[in-house]
Amino acid sequence: MAQRYVMAIDQGTTSTRCILFDHAGRMVSVAQREHHQYFPQPGWVEQDALEIWRNVDRTMPKALREAGVTGDQVVALGIANQRETAVVWDRHTGTPVGRAIVWQDIRTEQLVQQLSQLPGAEKIRDRCGLPLATYFTAPRLRWLLDTVPGLRERAERGDLLFGTMETWLIWNLTGGPDGGVHVTDATNASRTLLMNLATLTWDDELLAFFDIPRQLLPQIRPSTETYGTTRRVVPGIRIAAALGDQHAALFGQTCFDRGETKCTYGTGSFLLMNTGSTLVRSTHGLLATIGYQMSGEPVTYALEGSIAVTGSLVQWFRDNLGLISSAPEIETLARSVTDNGGCYVVPAFSGLFAPHWRSDARGIIVGLTSYITKGHLARAVLEATGWQTREVVDAMTADLGAQTPMLKVDGGMTADHLLMQFLADVLDVPVMRPMMAETVSLGAAYAAGLSVGYWPDLAGLRRNWHLAARWLPQMDPAHRDQEYANWKRAVELTIGWAAP
Ligand code: G3P
């Protein structure tokens, strides 16, 4: 019998990848395409949902071709996606009403301020686990309905559909205007500010608060379930799982037990701890979210520390400042000096996310003297990722009353040894990276494979996790405390910068 595979689509902030996995959880082929980022005004970030759909259309067949595999050898497709990015489209034509508004976009800052003054605002966090902030989807959707002429009427007539990227792709893959399935999974729905975290349903009071017509919204389904079968691109593949990319990474890191924690270092960085069947409501600036929901099983919750800008700070250093020509060069440049020379970079480009939630913060470089070289700046850029992680780990420790004993890491930035050592130093715990660092796609594949019985259980998946590298803390505690105090002072300077 021909070999069978699982396919994963990782629809991320900067690119779309299609990856085939075999039964041992090994990558068999990868096809990737980047998409454009549009920055029409300061703080605005947009993408073209049709371009992303075209990239799926190209990468799926390419991944199959490169592996010499046919569609009928693929037992299931799992989708992981950038979360919170909003797409609204015409259900009759499949045409988006405008560009997708990306999770980093802060155009809703004023709207969020106004909403936070309304009665009912104080209940939001309790209902959906999230603070009222520009990061999440509902204010974006409200902004579109208020701003684009005729949109609200079309939405109320039932002519429009809303979704995050997994919803958009599943709808298109299952037929688009010709019978496409309009669904989301519980992890993605948990990022909208509209889902009740206890019942896993759209919450009437939250819909009323944000004034969102229910007709726009997809059905909320478990993360592992067959939503439909592809009718376009490569027909006949069961779409058997969908998860927000960070939840997929938690799954791919096999953090299946309560207390297990991972941090994924991509455009931003997202630290998630599995809290099992307990919904832990943070009082220190973290998010309560869904870890994953397996079909027919109780939901698994998670606590999350979201950091908006980490890898994208390195991109900014490369593209906007031109101080390196490729992202990995930052490590070499940072190693050209022995310390940060007193310089700190706080990348509050989208305001500050966890644990601060200040959309009025803006980025800062402090401590400049004529001594500072681009090497010091490179170090400060990398260190910003370490300190931001420390802040969310501290919040988690305060919420739970105990520190995580170690951190599993993944994502592109984990190739940077200087950064990983710094991370172990500032967290004062071991940092571990698995052999398979593509945990987002792996998690989507695992979820889809489990969903169709390709893999029997979680225990088998856990055996596929192999340690590739470990970094142990080495920094002198007094030095660490001093540096952290400096970082915190720098953070204070960013807060309120954008206020009128
Ligand atoms: O919440 C945003 C997050 O899902 C984006 O992840 O890896 O696409 O930058 P990434």
pLDDT of residue 46: 97
401 Cβ neighbours under 8 A, 6+ residues apart: none
- Ligand 1 centroid – CA 70 distance (Å): 30
Q: What are phi and psi of 205, to 5 degrees?
A: -70, -35
Ligand 1 atom having least distance to the Cα of 268? 9
pLDDT exceeds 60 at position 500: no
Output the CA–CA distances (angstroms, integers) from residue 200 to 14, 173, 349, 447, in the order listed: 29, 25, 32, 19
What is the DSSP annotation of 90-125?
ETTT--BSSPEEPTT--TTHHHHHHHHTSTTGGGHH
Residue ranges around ligand 1 (CB below 6 Å): 12-13, 82-84, 103, 244-246, 266-268
419 Cβ neighbours under 8 A, 6+ residues apart: 331, 382, 385, 386, 413
Output the CA–CA distances (angstroms, integers) from residue 232 to 58, 100, 107, 196, in the order listed: 12, 22, 35, 33
> pLDDT (tens digit, 9 = 90+) per residue, 19-33?
999 998 999 999 999
Tell me how far apart the 2 most distant CA atoms of the chain are, in Å. 69
Determine if the pTM surpasses 0.90: yes
Ligand 1 atom having least distance to the Cα of 83? 4
Helices 245-252 & 439-451 angle (0-180, nearest 10): 80
pLDDT band at 2 (very low <50, low <70, confident <90, very high): confident
Q: Which of 34, 246, 306 to mutate to test the pocket of ligand 1 (most atoms within 8 A of CB)?
A: 246
Burial, 323: exposed, middle or buried (Cβ in 10 Å; 0-12, 13-18, 19+)?
middle
Q: Is the dihedral of CA 76, 81, 86, 89 positive or negative?
A: negative
Q: Which of 55, 83, 310 to mutate to test the pocket of ligand 1 (most atoms within 8 A of CB)?
A: 83
What is the DSSP annotation of 23-72?
TTS-EEEEEEEE---B--STT--EE-HHHHHHHHHHHHHHHHHHHT--GG
> pLDDT (tens digit, 9 = 90+) per residue, 363-376?
999 999 999 999 99
> pLDDT (tens digit, 9 = 90+) per residue, 251-268?
999 999 998 999 999 989
276 Cβ neighbours under 8 A, 6+ residues apart: 257, 258, 300, 301
pLDDT of residue 402: 83
> pLDDT (tens digit, 9 = 90+) per residue, 171-203?
999 999 999 999 999 999 999 999 999 999 999
> pLDDT (tens digit, 9 = 90+) per residue, 349-358?
989 999 999 9
How many CB atoms are closer than 10 A to CB 4?
A: 16
Q: Residue with the nearest Cα to atom 2 of ligand 1?
A: 83
Q: Which amino acid is at 24?
A: A
Q: What are phi and psi of 22, to 5 degrees?
A: -95, -175
Q: Which two tokens stand for residue 493?
A: 């300077």
Length of the chain measured in residues: 500
Q: Which of 47, 270, 309, 441 to mutate to test the pocket of ligand 1 (most atoms within 8 A of CB)?
A: 270
Burial, 278: exposed, middle or buried (Cβ in 10 Å; 0-12, 13-18, 19+)?
exposed
Helix (H) or strand (E) holding 239, with range, is strand 238-244
Burial, 189: exposed, middle or buried (Cβ in 10 Å; 0-12, 13-18, 19+)?
buried
ipTM confidence score: 0.97
pLDDT of residue 380: 98
- Ligand 1 centroid – CA 80 distance (Å): 10
Q: Which of 130, 245, 310 to mutate to test the pocket of ligand 1 (most atoms within 8 A of CB)?
A: 245
- pLDDT (average), residues 412-436: 95
- Ligand 1 centroid – CA 82 distance (Å): 4
